[in-house]
Every structure is written in structure tokens, then in C-alpha cells.
Structure 1
């Protein structure tokens, strides 16, 4: 089905008249749930059912990675941080891969059971002990180990019928700043990034259904953050890595996106750079400002 490019959020546990009006707009094609939108599995299912009563074709998403990033908690399995599979991999690779696959399948089954289409997972960033916002969300430090574990997790998701969305391209793990609150700058060369952070993305590009770029600027490569850069999204991701899936921007309300311009300018530039779906969350006025 044809969907609009804008992903938005809603205010609470049930839909307001304003929420319904926003979801009905043809420019809106998807919605993301946050902790304020969820209580019990029964309530989440009622909310997603109400959303589809407004727009049957809506995609509904959530961040249900595990560990620190798990929006659905009450009535759901508490998933471990992905780094735990990396530690297990160092001792017993086969059992770690099996556990990662089982975790991916369990997460996907529980999320889909309440009417949510996909989680923004898995994380392909590498944990080098620098980024607090990534940290134990990453599977491993080494590209080959991370790739193997991510692939296993993805296999579990796919077995449950869920799309896989890799993040944060081309890698957020080597910068200390948190792009929610600042614009991280990664001063490494193309050769360094290509030889390390890009490796999981390169290996898995043709297996992923979607990719989310980082609100990180790599000034030795391009002056714009990756999510606004046609070089990163078109030249590297599409042409060099052969990625044919969907590109989801990270939230344009994050501070890492603020330097690009007004919300309308951010929205237009993200689409021009190669994003297929653009997230504007936790700021209703900002979301409304891009609707034409």
C-alpha cells in the first residue's frame, strides 16, 4: 500500500480527536509508540486497533531492543541487553547465536501480538566503550562477532514475520556525545570508518529490510549528519553497499538534527538525501508544521 513518508507519535494510552485527525492525514504513513502510550498488552492492542480503524494501512512501530531500550514491559518478557550475547559469544559462540536468535523471535512475536508491526532493531553499532548512549545496546566490539550475532537475531525476527531495521548507520559507537542532546562529531577518516563501523552494515545490507542513519557528522567524509547526507545514503548505502530496503530517519526533533535548519528544512533535506520515512516525534507542533 502507498504510505505517507511521515512517522508521528500520539499523546497517551488512547487516541484523542487531534490524534485521529493527524493519523488520517495522507502525508502520515506510520506511528511510533513510546512508554507513555503503553500499559498492559490488552491496552496496547486496543490502541493499535483504534489506530487502524483510522488508517488500516498504518505501520505501527516501537523501540523494543531489550535491556535499557524496551518500551513494552508490563506483561512482556524482560529482554537482556544485546551485549550479554556478545559476552556469551566470547565463551561459547554457538550457544550465543542460538540465544540471540531465540531472543529476536520472542521479541518479534510479543510485539506483533499486540498489533505492532516492527521494532527498530537490531543495533549494528559496535561497543568500543566510548558511547554511553550505545554501550550495551551493541552486540559486540568486533565487527565479525557483531555481524554473526545480529544476523542470528534477525533470523529470529524474520521467523516471527517481522521486518528488520538496522541502526545507526554508518555507526554511532565511536563518539561520546548523545545525539538526543548534542550533535556528535566523529573525526575519523573514511578508511577508519570503512574498516570498522561499516563492516556489519556492509555484511548485512542485503538482508536488512530497513536502516536508520545516525544523527552524527563525519566531517572527513561529509559536512552533513548521515541522515541528511546524500553521500552516505545514496552513494555509500545504496550504491556501494547495495541496500534496497527502506531508510528511516532518526527523530528530527533530536538535538543532533537541529543544526540543519527549521523542521520543514530538516524534513525536506532528509527526504532529498534519501530517507523514505521521516520521524518527527514528541513535538506535535513540529509534526504539524511539515504537513502540506
Structure 2
């Protein structure tokens, strides 16, 4: 961290602490050593429970009692676990048919999906209108929004790394949220909470190479998004600043021990774990765990986030298409493993066939008991609370 950035950080501390208190952000940036905690979830909202079932046929299985403990039938419950993507700036017929057939939990917009705010609003309106016409609750709309060219919705934001103080990070997040919410966006895959290590995938893109600075900046940005009534989902837990490559583009490994992660990369997540409504997992593999399985599929990673850091919000998977680059397993198989591990929303970018195959796999796993119904009910309760808190109706 440069002396200039250190001075700016110190100079803005008093103002930022006042704003963060109003935004609901705390001060504890310490990574605990592993004390288990119990989290409490809320029941899905009545509107979600009352919507009719989808019309797509699901292959029969020998066991069907798993759905007895779900708030809705297994086919609908499984669909609500998915965040799906699409290619281009319009929803083609196969995408609209998918939204008519499945009560998808949400849709993720990425760079390339948006050319103007009005076009994005029209795209969202078309997708949500299709879902409502089919009798579904509307999908949660999320956007990958890290500023500049990394924005899914072009609203003129500066790149995240341009913020020099926590106050600037907060102001930028509030402004972006106020621009996105009227368009129908209710969640962002932002801010980035990784460390900007030299040679790492987030060099020049993340807030800083100093964990304390990143913690302060991410805490402020999370507060800003919340003030603007858009749910932030910071990533990429447990930190991929030291990854061997960009996990969204290639199989990448983080070669740090768990102690090394706790000493640096986990600090920003510890700072916001009690206050972020959602956190996104990494698609990288980690030597700290088994070295071969993407973090987004690991129960140990979920336990670290839930039990050690005390996170009670929605866990969003990493990009499962990217995760499939490691090991060669199908996206459908990875979806089942992610849900079993404790992921609440599974993200699959724009491939309708892969999304449908993954949904079918999760339905089968629910019906034969591979995925406990209680695990899905717990996920749906968290997602339902987030939807209610951020006005997804």
C-alpha cells in the first residue's frame, strides 16, 4: 500500500465509520479459529409457496418422499436453487421457453448482456414477464458489476480499483445501486473482496494489495450497496488473489495454506461476514483443502464461511461452467455437489441445455435422497429472506 493511499485511508476514517454504522457494517475483521455457531433461517414467503408447478417433465425415480419436507414440489424447489445466464443482449426463444418451463431462482447478467440501461430494463422486463405469464414468481435479477468495462449494465461507473478511500467506495456503490434498482436489478456479484497481488488475476482490479485496506474498502462498498437497496454478493471466497490464473477462464489453483489464507485473504470476508446478505464462492482449487476440487464444491469451505466466520446469508456458487474446467466433471454433476456442499444459489452461465441438465440432476438427487430435502429447504429459506429484504416480488 502506498503512503498516499495510507494517508487517504486514515483521513477518511472518521466519516466512514459513521456511515458504516448506519449501513449496518461492523468492525470485527479477525478470522476466528473455528468455533461453531448455529444460524437461524426463516420460512419462504407465502407468495413463493403459492405459485403453480412447472410443466417440464422430470424423469421418474424410485424414491419420491424427499419432497415431503420441501415448501414446494421437488421440481420447483430445484429450479429455485439456480441462477442462470444468457448470451447476448436479447432473450432468444429457447431462453424464454426455459423461463416459462422452469421457475428459476434468478438470472445473472454479465458484460455483453447490456448496451444501455433502457435495453437492460427491457431485457429484464421480457424475462420477468415470461416468468409471470407462466405462473412463476419472478426471478431475482443479479448483475456482475465491478465498474468500467467489467459492468454488465453500462451505467458509467468507474472501475472498482479507482476508489482511493472507503468513503469513495461507499459513494460509488450507493450511486451504482440507485442507477440499477429502477431497472429491476436486485443483486450484484460485487464488490470484489480479493487481494490485488502482483501477478494474480485481480492485480489492478481489486481494491488493494493490503488486507486491511481491502477490508475497509469492501466493508464500505457492501454498506453502500445495502443503502441503495441492492444486495451485494462479494467474492470470491476464500480469496483467489493468489490464484495461478483467472478461475473464470482456466483451471487455477491457490497454493496457500489455511493459515496463510487466514492471515491475509480471509480478512476482508471476516470484515463483512456478519453484514453481507450474500457471498460468492471461488471456482479455483486450493492447496489448503484437497488441491483438486473447486472451492465452490467443498463442504469444508462452506463450514469455514458459516461456522468460523459466522455468515448467515445466501451462499452463491462460483461459475460452474468455469469449475467444470477442473477435473472434467459435467456441469450437472457439479450442481448436485455444490448444493450438497451447502451452496444456496447455483450459477450456470448462458447454456440452456446445461442449465436444464443440471436442474434434472438436482431433481433426481432430491427425489432419491442424494441431496437431503432439509438442505434445499434451508437454502430456499435464505433465498426467500433475501428476496423479501430487497423487494423481489
Using the size of structure 1 for normalisation, the TM-score is 0.89
- CA drift at 1:257: 4.7
- The yes-or-no answer on 1:45 pairing with 2:121 is yes
Residue 108 of structure 1 pairs with residue 144 of structure 2: no
> Which residue of the partner structure matches residue 222 of structure 2?
154
Query: What is the CA–CA distance in structure 2 between the aligned matches of 1:204 and 1:165, rounded to whole Å?
Result: 10
SS in 1 for 2:198: coil
Report the counterpart of residue 231 of structure 1 in structure 2.
300
**What corresponds to 1:93 in structure 2?**
none
| CA positional deviation for 1:174 | 0.9
Task: Map 1:55-94 onto structure 2 (within 5 A).
Answer: 55=131, 56-73=137-154, 76-77=155-156, 79-85=157-163, 88=164
Deviating above 6 A after TM superposition, structure 1's stretches of 4 or more consecutive aligned residues are none
Distance in 2, matches of 1:169 and 1:291, equals: 24
With a CA cutoff of 8 Å and minimum separation of 6, indicate the structure with the bigger relative contact order: 2
Structure 1 stretches lacking a partner, 5+ long = 89-95
Matches within 5 A, 1:1-292: 1=45, 2=48, 4-26=80-102, 28-55=104-131, 56-73=137-154, 76-77=155-156, 79-85=157-163, 88=164, 96-131=165-200, 133-223=201-291, 224-233=293-302, 235-254=303-322, 257-259=325-327, 261-292=329-360
Q: Would the alpha carbon gap of residues 255 and 170 (structure 1) be closer, same or farther in structure 2, given more than 3 Å must change?
A: closer
Contact 1:175 1:186 in 2 (8 A): yes
| TM-score, length-scaled by structure 2 | 0.67
Residue 260 and residue 247 in structure 1: after superposition, are their counterparts in 2 closer, same or farther (change >3 A)?
A: farther
- Tell me the CA shift for residue 255 of structure 1: 5.2
RMSD: 1.9
For these two proteins, the number of residue pairs brought into alignment is: 278
Query: 2:113 and 2:254 mapped to 1: Cα distance?
Result: 34
Equivalent residue, structure 1, for 2:388: none
Q: Within 2, Cα distance between the matches of 1:128 and 1:16?
A: 40
Q: Secondary structure at the match of 2:107?
A: strand
CA deviation profile, 1:182-234 (whole Å, cap 9, x unmatched): 2212222111111110111112101111111111111232342210000011x
Q: CA deviation at 1:275?
A: 0.8
Q: Distance in 2 between matches of 1:24 and 1:146?
A: 41
State how far apart, in whole Å, the 2-side matches of 1:5 and 1:219 are: 28
CA distance in 2, matches of 1:21, 1:256: 25
1:137 is paired with a residue of what secondary structure? coil
* Aligned residues of 2:214 and 2:268 also touching (Cα < 8 A): yes
The answer as to whether partners of 2:100 and 2:130 remain within 8 angstroms in 1 is yes
The answer as to whether partners of 2:254 and 2:286 remain within 8 angstroms in 1 is yes
